[in-house]
Amino acid sequence: MSFSLRFRQPQAPAILRYLGSAVLFMLLGTLLLSACNSASNMQSTTVLEYNNSGRIISNVRINGQSLRGLRSSKGQIIGGRILLPREHQAGTPLQISWERDDCATGSRNCGSGATPYQARQQVLPLPGASAGAAHYLQLHFLPDDQLRLTLLPLSR
């Protein structure tokens, strides 16, 4: 003769399970709304990149946001978009990083095993702008790893 004992796991009353689910959904809704609100504080900004460096430039990033994965040669202009705060202050630091290809221009001896791309970065202040107008950024790559950043109004 064998006996088996079965125990029921205690269950919370149905009303407590319902309230727990309701609280969870309210928390998720609050998080979603706050995320949407913070995204509305950002605006998409056009960035035109002018390559006057004499080298091939690639993988340009501003504050970690990739402009593009394309390579630009001397004299090329390439555009992209990044998000900037709607209410940005003049002087806000922008970290700009890029890679330059020294082998393509023959400025280095690039035999087998050489790394052609050299990572570079620079922090520039965001130029001032007139309030209420839409703007775009011009990023100029100059010789000797110098950058120039200008903020210009969009003409309508």
Flag whether 107 is in a domain: yes
122 and 84 share a domain? Answer: yes
Q: What is the spatial distance between Cα 118 and Cα 100, in angstroms, rounded to a whole number?
A: 5
**pLDDT tens sequence across 1-36:** 666 666 666 666 666 566 666 666 666 666 665 555
Q: Say which CATH number the domain at 48 has.
A: 2.60.40
The domain containing residue 80 runs over which residues? Answer: 42-153
Flag whether 66 is in a domain: yes
Number of domains in the chain: 2
Task: Tell whether the model's pLDDT for residue 104 goes beyond 80.
Answer: no
Flag whether 2 is in a domain: no
Share of residues in the chain with pLDDT > 90 (%):
11
Entry pTM: 0.65
Between 86 and 59, the higher pLDDT residue = 59
Q: What is the spatial distance between Cα 53 and Cα 77, in angstroms, rounded to a whole number?
A: 12
What pLDDT was estimated at residue 147?
92
Task: Tell whether the model's pLDDT for residue 122 goes beyond 90.
Answer: yes
Mean pLDDT of 117-125: 89
Q: In the predicted model, what is the mean pLDDT of the chain? A: 76
